[in-house]
A and B are shown apart, each in its own frame.
Chain A
Amino acid sequence: DAGVTQSPTHLIKTRGQQVTLRCSPKSGHDTVSWYQQALGQGPQFIFQYYEEEERQRGNFPDRFSGHQFPNYSSELNVNALLLGDSALYLCASSLSGHPGNTIYFGEGSWLTVV
């Protein structure tokens, strides 16, 4: 059983460009969340998708947007990239219904903005 898979693993973008990151959740999971992890910090919640709708959002600007597809996979889009957007972007999946359900993380996409 494949866990959470993310692509690409590494990418370099120029300031002002746009980026799309992709995520496939663990089999059977219906909820996908995205996190930003800056170097030396803990993961910061960006948003969560369930049933193709954004269910909750963290304290991130509208430049960060996402989508969930009918097969539960998800995309994270970041527009007008800033140098400060350089970070590890983690996708996490879980089964909805109980806050204690285990969250599974992908290995992340390393984004460098130059």
Chain B
Amino acid sequence: AQSVTQLDSQVPVFEEAPVELRCNYSSSVSVYLFWYVQYPNQGLQLLLKYLSGSTLVESINGFEAEFNKSQTSFHLRKPSVHISDTAEYFCAVTPASGGSYIPTFGRGTSLIVHP
């Protein structure tokens, strides 16, 4: 079984400041890792994912996440946030093998960007 821990339930930050949203996971098998974003009153949208290869993955809107196998982490970062980044962010893991490809989600981190 897998589990995901998002260490911060809420992260307030000022506009144009950098931000890091933390995610740690545990799993007995290799995993794929995902970050999803949920804007108010909407469903989840995939932000970025790590499947293999380079441990640093980037999204089209300036977010990046780095897979750290030794620390079992997949923290999400952005060097300069905008008001429009205010949303709920979910980290998720899926087993890379075994046939049960159901993602396990963390409880979410609410990113609040202040002007």
A residues in contact (CB < 8 Å) with B:
4, 33, 40-45, 48, 56, 58, 90, 92, 98-100, 102-108
Q: Which residue of B lies closest to A4 (CB)?
A: B43
The answer to whether the Cβ of B46 comes within 8 Å of any Cβ in the partner chain is yes
B49 lies within 8 A of A102 (CB)? yes
Using A33-B102, A58-B102 as known contacts, say yes or no to A41 and B43 having CB atoms under 8 A apart. no
B32 lies within 8 A of A106 (CB)? no
B41 lies within 8 A of A107 (CB)? yes
Known A-B contacts: A42-B106, A44-B105, A103-B46. Give 7 more (CB < 8 A).
A40-B107, A41-B107, A43-B44, A43-B105, A92-B44, A98-B101, A100-B51
What are the residues of chain A within 8 A of B107 when measuring CB–CB? 40-42
What are the residues of chain B within 8 A of A105 when measuring CB–CB? 36, 43-45
Interface size for B (C-beta < 8 A) is: 25
CB distance from B42 to the nearest CB of A (A): 5
A-B contact count (CB 8 A): 53
The answer to whether the Cβ of B90 comes within 8 Å of any Cβ in the partner chain is yes
Contact with A along B84-107 (1 / 0, CB 8 A): 000000101011100011111111
Using A41-B108, A42-B90, A100-B51 as known contacts, say yes or no to A56 and B41 having CB atoms under 8 A apart. no
CB distance from A74 to the nearest CB of B (A): 15
Q: Which residue of A lies closest to B33 (CB)?
A: A100
A-B contact pairs, 12 of them (CB 8 A): A40-B108, A42-B92, A42-B106, A44-B105, A45-B103, A99-B94, A100-B32, A100-B49, A105-B43, A106-B43, A107-B42, A108-B43
